[in-house]
Amino acid sequence: MDNFVQEILLSHEDIVEVCETLGKKINADYAGKRPILIGLLKGSVPFLAELIKHVHIDMELDFIHASSYVGTTSSGAVMIIKDMNTPVAGRHLILVEDIVDTGLTIKEVKNLLKDRGAKSVEVVTMLDKPQGRTVMEVNPKYIGRTIPNKFVIGFGLDYNELYRNLDYIGVLKESVYKH
């Protein structure tokens, strides 16, 4: 275990197992529908890359970069930094998120895509942190694991752009971010 990690929540093997399970559910629910999987940058990239190995239906990929975080806390405002290129009117969309915490980013992105005429918008998240939720109407359809209210890093999750490259998910030691 790395010296900046308090504990490991999911090993790489756990992550692969989560992706297999989620992939099977998506395959069953979207057979014959050709959804667009939309990765929320930057954190979703490792999760999305592993997830699509287990999605065996016709699908498309695109990305949106939306952010509400500065350091370890949500700023309360969502900014769209990079928009997607694919038209979504009449399409089934699956937002791919590394973690659903406050729910603010998901709510804003879902509303944006619904306003653009999406037929359906669902969320698949590797991690769900319901104790951090401030937007109570956000409930992801596909949840890999529910975690406690701790600051996690690894497998796409970062602290000030660091630690995304870890192949596991761990809790960051408070001593790293509380000075």
Catalytic member of 101, 115, 128, 167: 101
Say if residues 33 and 141 touch (Cβ distance below 8 Å): no
Q: Provide the b/e sequence for 46-60 (b: ≥16 CB within 10 Å).
A: bbbebbbebbeeebe
- Reported as type and span, the H/E element at residue 104 is helix 104-115
How crowded is residue 77: how many other Cβ atoms within 10 Å of its Cβ?
9
Distance, C-alpha 98 to centroid of its chain:
3
User: Are the C-beta atoms of 125 and 108 separated by less than 8 Å?
Assistant: no
Query: Where on the phi/psi map is residue 48: left (φ > 0), alpha (ψ -120 to 50), or beta?
Result: alpha
Q: 101 an active-site residue? A: yes
Q: What amino acid positions are annotated as catalytic residues?
A: 101
